[in-house]
Chain A
Amino acid sequence: MTLDIVQMVLVTVLTAATPLILAAIGELVAERSGVLNLGTEGMMVLGAAAGFAVATETGSTLAGALGGAGAGLALSGLFAILTVGLAANQVASGLALTILGLGLSGLVGTGYVGMKRDPAPHLHLAGLSDLPLVGDLLFGQDAFVYVAVALVLGVWWFLGRSRAGLVLRAIGDDHTATHALGLPVRKVRVLAVLFGGACAGLAGAYLSLAYTPFWSPGMTAGRGWIALALVVFASWRPLRVAAGALLFGGATVLQLHAQAAGLGLPGQALSALPYVATILALVLLSLGRRQGGSLAPAALGREFTPHR
């Protein structure tokens, strides 16, 4: 019985962390290439609306997921044109994207108010999914969860082990030098931004197709911002993004469990817990290492224009 509760808690933490992981891992790639896109919330919220709309029209959750990712990708394409193509300020462009995404999501979603879908199907492997403690956790989730895990591992491999990943990181650290070496700075950055957009859109689609399978305005409720913070929290490292998302999701879920168990602290204090915990964790990590300059990609947020 208690094992069941532990597993239920773990599953809740994992699924609460999934949208954060999806959005953050995409943003991480964009930031590693030197582009700071603060528009995650906007791309996510549009992905939720577009994903639900496409899934409802086609009757296919897969098409919906792709539609959500596509919407995020399209919006990030606009961002790429602005910041990479026209060297516009990245912070401001990202915030503009957030506003645009919120507006567009309302326009897209307004025809789907009060509709529901069946949640995305969950994996079930006879035997394995019924194992105690870990069965459901490891073998009973929906595809989004596994995609999120695969993306984290894939990005980890790509950035750390592949040549293309090395190029991307080099560009994020010094666009002038890499440009002088003949590396396609702008092309790589556009691709990285588009990848980030698709991931954010997918994260939104996860919310409207799997997590709470209906559409409602503003249903991301700030998760895009948390994803942004997690990238910083993770010092731009893929595996730590997953760890950070699990920490944040865990703190959220645990405070709800603490309340259900009758802890009796003010709800506001408990709701603040995930944010405070994230700050504290980062402070502790900072205390642990010698001060050695910033961990951020050196060219992050700076405009780049190729010229003589």
Chain B
Amino acid sequence: MRLDLSPRARRSAVLSALSPVIAFAGAVLVGGIAVALLGVAPGAAFTTYFVIPLSEVWSLQEVALKAAPLALVATGLAFCFRASLWNIGAEGQFVVGGLAGGWIGVATQGAEGFTAWILPTMLAAGTLAGLAYAMIPALLKVRLGVSEILTSLMLVYVAELLLDYMARGPLRDPAGFNFPQSVPFDPAARLPYLMEGDTLHAGVLIALAAVIVATLVLARTLFGFEVRVVGAAPRAARFAGFSDARLTLAVFAISGAAAGLAGICEVAGKIGQLQPTISPGYGFTAIIVAFLGRLSPPGILVAAGVIALTTIGGESAQIDLKLPLDLTRAFQGLLLAFVLGADVLARYRVRLVPGGPRRTA
């Protein structure tokens, strides 16, 4: 038996929509068996996981809140990945963005008078810092041919240690008994809340706006065309006179800026101060989100929502059903694997052909 895949001329629209559903069903089936083996009713687990988080206003806000940074970072990464450039270091750019913007929040704490400039400046500083940090691997790649996979990944650790140092050292709260966190920001340095209950903040709107802008840029501008062509047909792009170096710098700038903006939104929105860690791994998770969303901004938005939902559903499962967190992780991994595998249906005609490997000679 041999699996034969032949590419479809165009993605099948029906199967494109259907394949994630099939994957979801498959993952839920396997997950259900695992849950039953642990002695929990699969139906209850399903409800706890997927229904309850979507049934309360509060948890819906939490899903949006968790999805926003993922969507924002992943949207930026989509530009890189479409151009076949591997920025693995969005986590570092996220951290540096949060640190740079947060620094302004710390420095302006207690400022009197006109304070409306503070928040926009923080957002700009975070964005620029993320952009600048992404320029290190980009420039090393363009000038010296150093692999961006290695440099961007290594710089994640450097960024994390830098934030750790700043939060424990120079930026810590002088009145905080030498504990490792900065002063809480003033309200002028915080993103405003959108709804009662102080959960959903304006960072969600920023992420949404970025997704829309990215959709338009990719679909309607020459630059977007360039990115798409380079990804799809690098040789054609070179004939068309597109510059590799310029494009490399541009997509790294975009992804770094998006990650930096997400970082400062997290700091100025949810956290409200600087502390030794500000990200539960958004920069890495966003890589998966980008691919789950098939590198298209609207798809990324959906993918980010799904990842956020399973995380929050996993917490419900820990509380209500005493299911271990590791089961949630394993299920997340399995779901991703199924979704990625099922995508083959949309892209290829799949046939099982009897007989051994075919030789063409």
- Interface: B242 (CB within 8 A): no
- For the complex, what is the distance from the CA of A39 to the CA of B7, rounded to whole Å? 27
A103-B332, A229-B154 known; A286 vs B146 contact (CB < 8 Å): yes
B291–A89 CB distance below 8 A: yes
Does more than half of chain A's interface fall in helix, strand or loop, or is it mixed? helix
Interface size class of B (residues with CB under 8 A): 35 or more
- Interface: A243 (CB within 8 A): no
B154–A278 CB distance below 8 A: yes
A283–B146 CB distance below 8 A: yes
Contact pattern, A 279-308, Cβ under 8 Å of B = 1, otherwise 0: 100110011000101101000010001111
Interface size class of A (residues with CB under 8 A): 35 or more
Binds B, one of A148-156, A157-165, A177-185, A203-211: A177-185
B330–A268 CB distance below 8 A: no
CB-defined contacts of A99 to chain B, threshold 8 Å: 288, 329-330, 332-333, 336
Report the minimum CB–CB distance from A46 to chain B (whole Å).
10
A232–B161 CB distance below 8 A: no
B324–A107 CB distance below 8 A: yes
- Interface: B219 (CB within 8 A): no
- For the complex, what is the distance from the CA of A293 to the CA of B328, rounded to whole Å? 43
- For the complex, what is the distance from the CA of A37 to the CA of B337, rounded to whole Å? 13
B348–A88 CB distance below 8 A: no
The listed residue (A81, A91, A307) touching B81 by CB distance below 8 A is A91
Report the minimum CB–CB distance from A98 to chain B (whole Å).
8
Contact pattern, B 279-308, Cβ under 8 Å of A = 1, otherwise 0: 000001001101110000000000000000
The listed residue (A85, A225, A271) touching B153 by CB distance below 8 A is A225
- Interface: B158 (CB within 8 A): yes
- For the complex, what is the distance from the CA of A149 to the CA of B350, rounded to whole Å? 43
A103–B5 CB distance below 8 A: no
Report the minimum CB–CB distance from A230 to chain B (whole Å).
8
- For the complex, what is the distance from the CA of A305 to the CA of B348, rounded to whole Å? 9
A101–B5 CB distance below 8 A: no
A268–B359 CB distance below 8 A: no
- For the complex, what is the distance from the CA of A104 to the CA of B145, rounded to whole Å? 38
Contact pattern, B 140-151, Cβ under 8 Å of A = 1, otherwise 0: 100011110111
A276–B81 CB distance below 8 A: no
- Interface: B164 (CB within 8 A): yes
The listed residue (B81, B150, B169, B360) touching A233 by CB distance below 8 A is B150
CB-defined contacts of B153 to chain A, threshold 8 Å: 225, 228-229
B288–A96 CB distance below 8 A: yes
CB-defined contacts of B284 to chain A, threshold 8 Å: 95
Known pairs A92-B340, A279-B140; list 11 more (Cβ under 8 Å): A93-B336, A96-B340, A97-B337, A106-B330, A107-B324, A107-B326, A107-B330, A110-B326, A291-B144, A293-B145, A306-B5
